[in-house]
Each structure stands twice: as structure tokens, then as C-alpha cells.
Amino acid sequence: MTGPEHTRPVVGRFAPSPSGRLHLGNLACSLVAWLSAKSKGGRIILRIEDLDKARCPRRYADQLEEDLAWLGLLWDEGGSLGGPSGPYYQSECDDIYTQSYNKLQELHLVYPCFCSRAQLHAASAPHRSDGEVIYPGSCRGLSAAQQIERAKTKQPAQRLMVPDEIIRFTDGHFGPVEENLARDCGDFYLRRADGVFAYQLAVVVDDARMGVTEVVRGADLLSSTARQLYLYRLLGLTPPTFAHLPLLLAADGRRLSKRDGDQSLENLRARYSADAIIGKLAFAYGLQPSPEPRSAASLIDSFDWALIPKADICLPDGLF
């Protein structure tokens, strides 16, 4: 094999947002991210995506570390372990995000947006596949005077102007993807009205500064990738490769979420051993032919992306 992808040592990452206890959906992403990096002799970084400090108290991050370690999904750097590319908690990175945000401002691509969520929904603007409104650009054309006037009564969020151009990439699992940001997404948030930086900016800045070479995450974030590639380009950063995983659905077809308490690690740990959980999850993702207990490490040698289905995965009834 040739090319820069095969000469760079592989660095993968776990990037959980600890707003509650780990559940099967994010555990599946962690397992596959870990196996994908480890099967190439790579390293794994743990980055805590606690941008929203109020929703992500440190005790959830600590619990998450404890759960991952109990499952045998050990990371090489990050979280409370620290390492050379810290900080590893997004709640501590405001200064770092500010630098990149300032660069984007210098490009004259950032503008204040005074629209409320309710206004946007009421405007019956078209919606993206993830349910968010495609921003119609309402505040893009405000004059400086209008911006000053509106800022007297409302603290604005900040949006990034996007180009009317097709952004193409090859997803490591789903293959070629293309998206026109102007048509499919609209100008997107860089910063909330309360000053919190947006996930899209933080994730790009962090993956780049931590030297992440491959991003493995749920297919719900496939549609974020074009936005992130655009940010990599504007900031002059080298993007990683991206591979998205089919989502895990409850037996009745609903997406698993933190609300499915019975699928949280708290309840699973009360019922099963670590190897039993890993074995069942590996079976659901096609990584072993039966749900027998397996340690995460014992799955490294046989790991192959080609075994993982493309369609969302319905948890077989009675598996957990």
C-alpha cells in the first residue's frame, strides 16, 4: 500500500459527551473505534466532549472512564490520564477554540445571528435529515448598523458562511458521500449566544491538534462531516479519515438513546460480565458469529470493517 495514510501511525479516539451514563449506542462506537485503531497497531485518545459544562459534570466523565476501563477498552492518552496533547476536556479549551474562531472571523466568514429556534421553525424553512432547520441566511445580509441595533436587545449566536459548492469525501464504511453545504445545511453555528463554542468547531480543532488520523463514530454524524471538512480547509488543517458506523436500534426500531435506561452501563453491569457485553455487541455488529463472551482484546486480530453491516442494526430481541 502506498500514500500518506499508510505511513502515518494510526491515532483513533473516543470522543464521548458525558451527559449521562454510557449506553450501548456509544459503547458500540467506542468498541469499533478501539478495534479499528488497535488492529492497525494504532493508539487511542480519550477526549471528553463536555463543551456544555452544565450538562456534563465531571463525575459523569469519571464514571465513563471507569466503565471503559472495566470493559477493557483502555486508552493510551487523554481523559484523567493526561498526555502530550492536552487539554483533553473540551471544557478547558476555550482559549484554543478562540484562536481558530478568530482566524475564521479574519476571513470575514462569521456573522451574528439573532434568530431564535422558534422563529426558524416557524419560518417553515426546509429541514436537514437530522431534523435541524436548513438555515435560510436571514441574518447574513444585516448591515453593521442593524447588527448593532439588534444586539441591544438580544445576544447573538455566531454563524459561519458556507459555499454553494459540492464537498466530496469517501467514508471508510459508507463509501463516496457528497454534500452541498449551502443547499443541504446552510450557514451553521460556530458559537452559541451564551458564548459556548459549537461542536463542529471544537471537534475539528481538537482532532487536528491531537494528531487524530482516523475518526470512527455513529452514522448520525455522517452529515456533519462535510461541515467539518470545510472547517479543516478554512483553518489550513489536515483532516483525518472518517468511517461511520450504523446506528443501534431497539428491537422495535427506535434509536437507542440515554433514555433507554435498561441499556445503560449501570444496568448492564448489574446483569453481565464485561466480556458478555462485549461479546453480544460484537455479535450485533457482525464481528463474531455468535454472542459468546469475548474480551475486547481478543477481537483485534479478526477485526474487519467488511464484516459490519451498512444498514442500522436492530438489537435482536432478548440479546441484552
Rounded-to-10 torsion of CA 14, 17, 19, 24: -50
| Positions 193 through 212 that interact with ligand GLU (CB under 6 A) | 203
What distance in Å separates the CA atoms of residue 89 and residue 206, rounded to the nearest whole number? Answer: 10
Query: Between 33 and 284, whose beta carbon lies closer to ligand GLU?
Result: 33
Measure Cα distances from 280 to 21, 264, 273, 292 in Å: 19, 14, 11, 7
Minimum separation from the CB atom of position 216 to ligand GLU (A): 8
In this structure, how many other beta carbons lie within 10 angstroms of the beta carbon of residue 217?
Answer: 22
Stretch that binds ligand GLU, among 14-22, 106-114, 150-158, 253-261 (CB under 6 A): 14-22
Backbone angles phi, psi at 285, to 5 degrees: -95, 10
Of positions 38, 217, 227, 294, contacts ligand GLU by CB under 6 A: 217
Stretch that binds ligand GLU, among 9-17, 81-89, 155-163, 249-257 (CB under 6 A): 9-17
Stretch that binds ligand GLU, among 10-18, 230-238, 250-258, 293-301 (CB under 6 A): 10-18
Stretch that binds ligand GLU, among 15-23, 63-71, 143-151, 154-162 (CB under 6 A): 15-23
| Positions 42 through 71 that interact with ligand GLU (CB under 6 A) | 49
Residues 94-114: b if buried by 16+ CB within 10 A, e if exposed = eebbeebbeebeeeebbbbbb
Query: Between 220 and 266, whose beta carbon lies closer to ligand GLU?
Result: 220
Query: Between 49 and 187, whose beta carbon lies closer to ligand GLU?
Result: 49
Q: What residues contact 189, with CB distance under 8 A and at least 6 apart?
A: 113, 157, 158, 159, 160, 198, 200
Q: Does 296 bind ligand GLU (CB under 6 A)?
A: no
Interface contacts to ligand GLU, rule CB under 6 A: 15-17, 26, 49, 203, 217, 221
